[in-house]
Amino acid sequence: MNTLRTRLAEAGPAILLRLFFGVTFTFAGLQKLANPKFFDASSPTSFQSQVHGALGVSPIAPLLRLTLHAPAPIAVAIAIGEVLVGLGTLFGFLARFAAIAGAVLALSFFLSISYGTSPYYYGSDIVFFFGWTVLAIGGAGPLSIDAWLARPTARGGIMLGRRTFLSRGAVAAAGVVATAALVGIDTAVGHASGSTGVGANHTGTTTSGKKTSLGTKIGSVAAVPVGSALAFTDPSGQPAFLVHDRSGAFAAFSAICTHAGCTVGFDGANDRFVCPCHGSVYNAATGAVENGPSITPLPSIALAVDGGEIYLKNA
């Protein structure tokens, strides 16, 4: 008992960071892999939509544009990377490498998704980045696989390098197999259940259609039942929503969160838009902010309805 107390005291804040970061990153990666919409370019909550939403504010916009050449593989790599970083941190295996990888991921998220957050301390990614640096410098501490593998042997405290190397290899191989099984099960269950996250009651996705004297056609009245929304791409190439609210009126809004540029999702059960990045909530009928940190409503898009068809009004 005294030995355990000593190790807990030595671990200090590192064990708390490891638990939180390990669970959070593992969950984040598994959630992405289980959600088919994250890889579906037509979804407003997809990796592609989030990249498009970040292009206007990110200082690394040219790099983000490169990801759009192979969005699905990059999205998969990010999700699996989060799982590996999370599990490595949680169990304390190759913990410094995991922490460095976690810091790189957090920095990339900050420079893309949450760079426009104001004030900056509302964005969690920058906090994650500096938290990861603590683990990268200090390591996992005594309660970890790394510490167990590095323990002195019974023979005069001399470490057996070959044995340590083989032990690390065995643990790494077992970890890869276990991670692959976890990712496979998670993905299969998520796709089988049709997991979509926020975005219930979407009626599909369309791009801006043929231009007429009324404007650009984006859909028909019959295609958007009351209480649902149609995701579409506006003429500038940005994601947007056409909403048929409970009163029977139609409205359209940009799908780009006004807080940090993420792409919002439509929550039909509660008649609202929800930002997956920082939790801002907007009224689906008016675009008004219902819950921060955003303070600016979603920009509305002018519509024209004629003969059962819905158009974006010409500027």
Residue 299 per-residue DSSP state: P
* Statement: residue 136 has pLDDT above 90: yes
Whole-angstrom CA distances from 219 to 106, 204, 213, 225, 289 are 39, 10, 16, 12, 26
Instruction: Indicate the Cα dihedral angle 89, 93, 95, 101, nearest 10°.
Output: -70
What pLDDT score does 209 carry? 54
Is residue 128 predicted with pLDDT exceeding 50?
Answer: yes
Computed over its alpha carbons, how large is the radius of gyration of the chain? 24
Kindly give the residue spans of alpha helices, DSSP state H, lying in 140-255: 145-149, 161-192
Taking only the tens place, the pLDDT of each residue in 266-295 is 888 888 898 877 778 999 989 999 887 888
Residues 6+ apart with CB under 8 A from 74: 47, 67
More confident residue, 233 or 89: 89
Paired tokens of 278:
């920082």
**pLDDT exceeds cutoff 90 at 3:** no
Domains, in order of start, for the chain: 2-192 (no CATH), 202-313 (2.102.10.10)
Q: Which residues contact 8 (CB under 8 A, 6 or more apart)?
A: 15, 143
